[in-house]
């Protein structure tokens, strides 16, 4: 990658910007070209002053996209590891393009682990709302059920403490939700948001904290947060391993279920917590939950049933692969029909007139950005859940 970096600095030097007075951020990005089955590299430039973008083809040494205003990309989307959509291309941001960008956008950005314990999994929507209001972005998430030995491995540093057995017993007693949070000083912000480890102390000393609001005691205390950047790296690797292999498995049960996808636009608008709260308040059981970055080929495959049937098909595909989405398995008797009713008509405008309390009426914008996808045909419920929780998470 060293050669690439030097090469890029050379390109940047030669590709002197004519807009020297403007701030400009530069990233090295990769795009998977499905036609050629190749990874292509582009330099992406973003101008925060007017929200315009420019792209430079690294291999062919030429401008690929002249500077163009683009309203769907925002400065907060620009961090290493994220995937952003620029004119229907899903670009993976793999490196800062210059030192200026690294200094401006990279210095305070941190990743930390938030582990939501079994007692508060049902209140995940409320917890996400608090995270969102603290400017913490959820970049990965999975619901899992830890075995006793997995929980003991995770909490190995507490092995000699008197509460160790009770803690491990409790954390392995039901589903947990592990999340990667990202933001400026994320480690300390999440720890502060959690509050003191003993929920009773939290209620006295930090009344706005998550533990003060939802915790019971020192073990049933909502969740866990990494103590340092080193701990965060180790703990994130436990749940979201970067090497080939697998973290703890998802909790999908694949019976009496239907699929719900919280679409990328709803995630980026900060609606995830509200949507999850609405689903839980309506009495639906969320039996599996995971965030996915869907590539274009998989989005086309998943939505294939709509191809040639609905005119929005190409736009639906583009939306699904425009950023992270959250996929849920909804479990219950008659789940596909009941949940589809609850989502409402595909067009939010119609939903607002006819069924104003449905998910799409409350959170949708138009027929493509309509907040959620739900399984349309009862017989497809299990198949759609399997697509994400067996095939894509295989």
33 in the same domain as 126: no
CATH classification at residue 59: 2.30.29.170
74 in the same domain as 134: no
pLDDT at 279: 98
Would you say residue 246 lies in a domain?
A: no
pLDDT at 19: 43
Which H helix or E strand runs over 78?
A: none
pTM: 0.86
Among candidates 81, 138, 84, 125, which has minimal Cα distance to 106?
81
Indicate the pLDDT class of residue 323, thresholds 50, 70 and 90: confident
Mean pLDDT along residues 169-185: 96
The residue from 92, 224, 265, 331 that is catalytic is 224
Range of the domain at 152: 109-239
Is 224 labeled as catalytic in the residue annotation? yes
Indicate the pLDDT class of residue 308, thresholds 50, 70 and 90: very high
Among candidates 109, 77, 35, 95, which has minimal Cα distance to 323?
77
Q: Is the pLDDT of residue 2 over 90?
A: no
Would you say residue 245 lies in a domain?
A: no
pLDDT at 223: 97
Q: Is the pLDDT of residue 336 over 80?
A: yes
Listed residues 82, 106, 130: the one ending a domain: 106
Q: Is the pLDDT of residue 47 over 90?
A: yes
pLDDT in tens, 15-34: 554 444 468 999 999 998 87
138 in the same domain as 183: yes
If one counts the domains in the chain, the total is: 3
CA of 101: how far to CAs of 23, 71, 78, 309, 384, in Å? 10, 20, 10, 44, 40
């Amino acid at each position: 990658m060293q050669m690439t970096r030097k090469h890029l600095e050379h390109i940047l030097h030669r590709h002197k910007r004519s807009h020297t007075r403007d701030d400009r951020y530069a990233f090295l990005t990769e795009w998977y070209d499905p036609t050629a089955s190749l990874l292509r590299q582009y330099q992406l430039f973003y101008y925060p002053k007017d929200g315009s973008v420019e792209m430079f083809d690294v291999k062919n040494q030429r401008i690929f996209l002249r500077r163009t205003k683009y309203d769907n990309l925002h400065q907060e989307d620009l961090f290493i590891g994220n995937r952003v959509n620029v004119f229907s291309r899903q670009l993976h941001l793999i490196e800062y393009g210059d030192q200026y960008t690294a200094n401006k956008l990279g210095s305070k950005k941190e990743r930390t682990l938030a582990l939501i314990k079994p007692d508060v999994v049902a209140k995940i929507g409320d917890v996400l709302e608090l995270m969102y209001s603290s400017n913490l972005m959820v970049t990965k998430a999975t619901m899992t059920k830890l075995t006793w030995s997995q929980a003991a491995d995770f909490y190995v540093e507490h092995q000699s403490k008197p509460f160790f057995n009770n803690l491990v017993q409790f954390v392995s007693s039901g589903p947990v939700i592990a999340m990667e949070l990202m933001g400026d000083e994320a480690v300390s912000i999440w720890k502060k948001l959690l509050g003191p480890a003993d929920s009773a102390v939290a209620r006295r000393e930090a009344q706005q904290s998550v533990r003060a609001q939802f915790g019971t005691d020192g073990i049933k205390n909502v969740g866990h947060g990494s103590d340092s950047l080193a701990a965060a790296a180790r703990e994130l690797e436990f749940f979201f391993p970067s090497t080939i292999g697998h973290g703890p498995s998802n909790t999908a049960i694949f019976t009496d279920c239907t699929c719900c996808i919280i679409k990328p636009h709803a995630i980026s608008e900060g609606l995830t917590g509200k949507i999850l709260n609405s689903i839980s308040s309506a009495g639906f059981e969320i039996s599996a939950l995971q965030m996915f970055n869907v590539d274009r080929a998989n989005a086309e495959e998943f939505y294939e049933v709509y191809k040639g049937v609905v005119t929005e098909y190409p736009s639906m595909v583009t939306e699904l692969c425009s950023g992270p989405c959250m996929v849920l398995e909804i479990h219950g008797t008659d789940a596909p029909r009941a949940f589809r009713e609850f989502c409402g008509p595909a067009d939010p405008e119609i939903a607002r007139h006819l069924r104003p309390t449905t998910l799409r009426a409350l959170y949708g914008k138009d027929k493509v950005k309509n907040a959620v996808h739900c399984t349309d045909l009862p017989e497809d419920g299990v198949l759609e859940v399997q697509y994400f929780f067996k095939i894509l998470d295989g």
